Amino acid sequence: MTQPLILASSSPYRRALLRQLQLPFRYADPRTDEKAKPGEDADARALRLAGEKARALASTYPQALIIGADQVAECCGHILHKPGSQARAIAQLNICAGKRATFHTALTVLDSTSGRQSTGLETYTVYFRPLSKAQIERYVELEKPYDCVGAFKVEGLGIALFEKLEGTDINTLVGLPLIRLTDLLREHGIDPLATPLKAPGAAS
By annotation, the residues acting in catalysis are 70
- What are the two backbone dihedrals, phi and then psi, of residue 30, each rounded to the nearest 5 degrees? -75, -15
Task: Give 25's Cβ-side CA count (13 Å radius).
Answer: 24
| Residues ≥6 apart with Cβ < 8 Å to 44 | none
| Residues ≥6 apart with Cβ < 8 Å to 130 | 97, 98
Residue 197's closest CA among 62, 8, 10, 6?
6
- Rounded distance between C-alpha atoms, residue 94 and residue 79, angstroms: 14
- Rounded distance between C-alpha atoms, residue 113 and residue 110, angstroms: 9
Answer positive or negative: Cα dihedral of 184, 189, 192, 197. negative
Which ranges of the chain does DSSP label H, i.e. alpha helix? Answer: 12-19, 42-56, 86-96, 133-143, 171-174, 178-187
User: Using an 8 Å Cβ cutoff, are 49 and 156 in contact?
Assistant: no
